[in-house]
Chains A and B, each alone.
Chain A
Amino acid sequence: MSIEEKKTGAQPEGQDGQQMALDDERRVKVLSPGAMVAKRFFRNKLAMAGVIILVIMFIFSFIGGAISPYGESQIFEDYEEVVSNFAGATINTDYRYTEAYSGSLPTTARTSMILAVNNGETTYEAGENTYQLTEIGEHCYVISGTATVAQADRLAGSYVLSSDAIEVSDDLTAAFNDAMNSGATTFTYDGVEYTITGSGRTYYISAMQELGFATQEIIEADGLSYEAKKEALLALLNGETSFSADGTNYTVELDDETAIIFSGSEEVGAISPYSIQGIESGTVISTELRAQIIEAIANDTSSFTVTDAEGNEVEYEVVRENTRYTIRTASSTRLIQTYLAPSTSHWLGTDGAGMDILTRLMYGGRISLLIGFVVVILETIIGVVLGGIAGYFGKWVDMLVMRIVDIFYCIPTWPILIILGAVMDSYQIGARVRIYFMMIVLAVLGWPFIARIVRGQILSLREQEFMVAAEATGISVSRRIFRHLVPNVIPQLIVQCTMALGGIILTESTMSFLGIGVKFPYASWGNIISSVSNVFVMTNYWYCWIPAGFCILLTVLGFNFVGDGLRDAFDPKMKR
């Protein structure tokens, strides 16, 4: 339907709907010079290819960056579960001591005990004290010895006893006072023989007493009293499934070498021959976890789950290596996803900093194109003004300006760019400031060629008749320059600027490649490629640098095609 309409609409008709004659003047096309240029331009295949490339690059850079779901310097991270060794459990072969009360077994008593056990003795001396060993099981000994159990201070004619280790009863005090009064150095109370030492106002009462026990079993029960621990050990040794201590009833779940202690249904501890230590220093292993590990070892289960303080279920694995058990658990580690291969979520993968390369390319294109345009505009302003002045006024003005142009033409660009880059590096100037600075430096170093073109053009245009006419009609100088001369220069200027744009993008990307241009966090095609300075990246991650290189190549090529096409379109003389 719509095609039909179009066809009829295309019929050459006058406004009143009448058929036009073949020689109707409305049918004879007269093209303006601008339209001629456009026609020639659009017929040039290379130029059109350039236009298409440029349009694609602009869409890619300016719209693509907005569409891309990722940010310019968004770093992609991943949490990866890494199973690592958490703790080790080994069969213990050292004696561990449990003291009846704090300080009851000094170090000398402990070390001498081992000697005594090895020699098969049941009593031994350490320091000034005598200790007795009672074997209650294999590698399990109860240590008792004469120890000071109480202190007696004379107060108002009688002695008052105080003690940490035993319960001081009135009867005991009375017995002591009797002994003191009778001058005896020993007394017996409740079947225990006490010895009195000391003099003056303070006496010490010592007695044969249970001081603690030594065993090669490891008792993991922080909450239990000495009595309870000892009873639990005895229960393990004797194969009993329950015991009571301190008025509490405990049940014991026995399995070969280990015992899990329950108070009611709550697990309060475990006894095993295994000593459990964290692989990394500083690992805190709770009693509950220790008990769980022991249970797992005892039951030969290879994994178990424990709910940690935050309520998460953590799974542990138990691996046996000879006499050693290793407890492994999965811990999550934060990983930056560097050099990911292209995939559906990252079409061109990620780079060495874990950023999406396609998105970086889009933002990089923005910066490269923006820098190109800003620099060319600045160059054009300086070049047109100075070139125009030189060309129009001639004589000494021309001489002066052209010598300035020569001077700037001779200034070597790269040494200056590099040395300024090195200085900015050492002052750690921000990336944004560097971009502005780069634009200014490139413009200041790049304007001379535009000034030359403008001057050359104006020099020849100045002598033409229309300028004589303009002068004769009394038009002001600035109007003559900017209304009559500069518009005639514009075609040449556009051609040169288009070509120059490509050149500036090349310079900018080279600078960024060398690390003296656009810097992180900003992306630029050049600094994306600079990852190839690492040969490993160049060899293994083609997607990190080849797309960026082709972006530069295509964009510059686009500008050059368009510039070339424009030149041919503006200057048809070249046609044979």
Chain B
Amino acid sequence: MRKFVIKRLLISVVIFFFVALILYTIMRCIPTSFVESQARQLSQLPGAKSYEEWLAQLTEMYNLDNSIIEGYFSWLWNAVRGQFGDSWYWTKPVLEVFSDSIWYSFALGAITFVLQIVIAIPLGILAARKQYGMADYVVTVIALVGISLPTFFFATLLKYVFSINLGWFDLYGIVGRFYDQLSPFGKFLDMAKRLVLPVTTLTIVNIGSLMRYTRTNMLEVLNSDYIRTARAKGLSENVVVNKHAFRNTLIPVVTLLGGSLPGLFSGAMITETLFQIPGIGYVSYDAMVNGDIPFYMFYSSFLAILTLLGMLIADVMYAVVDPRVRLD
């Protein structure tokens, strides 16, 4: 087991090395005049450093005068030591921006994750049990509509209905105008209220794939021989489904969910931007739309690491959850 994890880790490091190389290369392929104009723009921000200083800093930071390979290694060396430089757009160290915003994203992601599990898995199982029945059709249609919904459209629709027409929620932001005057519990409620629409958006949009995944796997399990044996033994349908089938369905589902755990930190770019939740997605969207290369390098490396971590966790989970799988 340990050998397997170490091997997977090493492969992940190698993959990350190449992913970061590609990301860096793309950054370097951006013509330098773009960097210059960025430095010029940045120097015009209130309280910013001068143009020469910015240009020198950017050039030094990214070794723009060196070859791509040389520059990449020095960037990587800096990145490994946790030096990602200052964000051009936020004019703060990238890591500071990151630590200010990541917990909003995590809260959003975690609530959505829990809701998704609570809703999707029972519905997926229900659909599989009543295959080609009314429930199955309804669940399938809901799942496919969720998958097909453009996030930005659904979020706007929710805002239109619940914020504008019904006036239940505010359009934007994570805290209200009187947030500072509220008691701690009031603060919590205020934030919670503002998370309702984003969480709804993310849950509906993401719920489909888990629902279908559960349904597919449950169907597979229900068609397997040991379920037929269980039925043949005369076990009640509830015992068959809840004890025998459900546990076996959990294997792939838990693997999938484990693999998506790191994704909780990746931030929901569109949703956060539309609701102006100052999470990592919103912050990085704002930065990247303005051509903030330090932030781009940081955020895309971060996402790559999360993806790799997800793959790793999924592989390990698979072995851990299912005792039939043996690794060698």
Interface residues of A (CB under 8 A from B): 45-46, 403, 406-407, 409-412, 414-416, 418-423, 426-427, 502, 506, 509-510, 513-514, 516, 526, 529, 532, 535, 538-539, 542, 545-546, 548-549, 552-553, 556-557, 559-561, 564, 573-576
- Contact flag A576-B222 (CB < 8 Å), given A422-B291, A423-B30, A564-B144: yes
Interface residues of B (CB under 8 A from A): 11, 14-16, 18-19, 22-23, 26-27, 30, 34, 37, 131, 137, 140-141, 144-145, 147-153, 156-157, 159-160, 164, 171, 216, 219-220, 222-223, 269-270, 284-285, 288-291, 293, 296, 299-300, 303-304, 307-308, 311
> Which residue of chain B has the shortest Cβ distance to A535 in the bound complex?
B171
User: A176 to nearest B CB, angstroms?
Assistant: 80
> Which residue of chain A has the shortest Cβ distance to B220 in the bound complex?
A574
Interchain Cβ contacts within 8 Å, total number = 136
B285 touching A418, Cβ below 8 Å: yes
User: A312 to nearest B CB, angstroms?
Assistant: 47
- Contact flag A410-B34 (CB < 8 Å), given A553-B149, A560-B144: no
A553 touching B304, Cβ below 8 Å: no
A407 touching B34, Cβ below 8 Å: no
Alpha-carbon distance A545/B160, docked complex (angstroms) = 11
> Which residue of chain B has the shortest Cβ distance to A552 in the bound complex?
B150
Q: Select B150's contact among A407, A549, A574, beta carbons within 8 Å.
A: A549
- Contact flag A407-B18 (CB < 8 Å), given A426-B34, A509-B150, A560-B144: yes
Alpha-carbon distance A131/B327, docked complex (angstroms) = 124
Alpha-carbon distance A265/B127, docked complex (angstroms) = 97
Contacts of B299 in A (CB 8 A): 412, 415
Alpha-carbon distance A286/B233, docked complex (angstroms) = 109
A419 touching B293, Cβ below 8 Å: yes
User: A18 to nearest B CB, angstroms?
Assistant: 42
Q: Select B307's contact among A412, A416, A421, A561, beta carbons within 8 Å.
A: A412
Alpha-carbon distance A545/B274, docked complex (angstroms) = 15
User: B61 to nearest A CB, angstroms?
Assistant: 16
User: B281 to nearest A CB, angstroms?
Assistant: 9
- Most chain B beta-carbon contacts within 10 A, residue among A422, A553, A561: A422
Alpha-carbon distance A539/B147, docked complex (angstroms) = 26
Can you give 29 A-B contacts (C-beta < 8 A)? A46-B140, A46-B144, A403-B11, A410-B16, A410-B304, A411-B22, A412-B303, A414-B269, A419-B26, A419-B293, A420-B26, A422-B290, A423-B291, A510-B151, A510-B270, A513-B152, A514-B289, A538-B159, A538-B164, A539-B160, A545-B156, A546-B157, A549-B156, A549-B157, A553-B149, A553-B153, A557-B144, A561-B144, A576-B223
- Most chain A beta-carbon contacts within 10 A, residue among B148, B157, B159, B219: B148
> Which residue of chain B has the shortest Cβ distance to A509 in the bound complex?
B150
A529 touching B293, Cβ below 8 Å: no
User: Chain B interface secondary structure, helix, strand, loop or mixed?
Assistant: helix
User: B224 to nearest A CB, angstroms?
Assistant: 11
Alpha-carbon distance A208/B110, docked complex (angstroms) = 105
> Which residue of chain A has the shortest Cβ distance to B310 in the bound complex?
A410
Q: Select A529's contact among B153, B171, B219, B288, beta carbons within 8 Å.
A: B153
> Which residue of chain A has the shortest Cβ distance to B16 in the bound complex?
A410
> Which residue of chain B has the shortest Cβ distance to A420 in the bound complex?
B26
A410 touching B19, Cβ below 8 Å: yes
Alpha-carbon distance A519/B137, docked complex (angstroms) = 38
A415 touching B284, Cβ below 8 Å: yes
- Contact flag A415-B160 (CB < 8 Å), given A407-B22, A549-B153: no
Q: Select A564's contact among B27, B140, B270, B284, beta carbons within 8 Å.
A: B140
Contacts of B220 in A (CB 8 A): 574
> Which residue of chain B has the shortest Cβ distance to A45 in the bound complex?
B137
Alpha-carbon distance A30/B308, docked complex (angstroms) = 50
> Which residue of chain B has the shortest Cβ distance to A576 in the bound complex?
B131
> Which residue of chain B has the shortest Cβ distance to A50 in the bound complex?
B144
A422 touching B304, Cβ below 8 Å: no
Contacts of B152 in A (CB 8 A): 509-510, 513-514, 526, 529
> Which residue of chain A has the shortest Cβ distance to B305 in the bound complex?
A410
Contacts of A549 in B (CB 8 A): 150, 153, 156-157
Contacts of A415 in B (CB 8 A): 284, 288, 296, 299-300, 303
Contacts of A529 in B (CB 8 A): 150, 152-153, 156
Contacts of A403 in B (CB 8 A): 11, 14-15
Contacts of A532 in B (CB 8 A): 156
Alpha-carbon distance A185/B214, docked complex (angstroms) = 127
Contacts of B145 in A (CB 8 A): 553, 557
Contacts of A513 in B (CB 8 A): 150, 152
Alpha-carbon distance A496/B288, docked complex (angstroms) = 31
- Most chain B beta-carbon contacts within 10 A, residue among A412, A529, A559, A575: A412
- Contact flag A553-B307 (CB < 8 Å), given A410-B16, A411-B19, A415-B284: no
A416 touching B300, Cβ below 8 Å: yes
Alpha-carbon distance A237/B39, docked complex (angstroms) = 78
Alpha-carbon distance A556/B27, docked complex (angstroms) = 33
> Which residue of chain B has the shortest Cβ distance to A422 in the bound complex?
B291
- Contact flag A510-B290 (CB < 8 Å), given A560-B144, A576-B222: no
User: A260 to nearest B CB, angstroms?
Assistant: 62
- Most chain A beta-carbon contacts within 10 A, residue among B16, B27, B37, B296: B296
Q: Which 7 residue pairs across A and B have the least CB separation, nearest first? A: A412-B303, A549-B153, A556-B148, A415-B300, A557-B148, A422-B291, A418-B288
Alpha-carbon distance A333/B62, docked complex (angstroms) = 55
A542 touching B160, Cβ below 8 Å: yes
User: A505 to nearest B CB, angstroms?
Assistant: 9
- Most chain A beta-carbon contacts within 10 A, residue among B18, B34, B153, B164: B153
User: A564 to nearest B CB, angstroms?
Assistant: 7
Alpha-carbon distance A506/B291, docked complex (angstroms) = 24
Alpha-carbon distance A416/B26, docked complex (angstroms) = 8
Alpha-carbon distance A455/B284, docked complex (angstroms) = 35
Alpha-carbon distance A407/B14, docked complex (angstroms) = 9
Contacts of A506 in B (CB 8 A): 148, 150
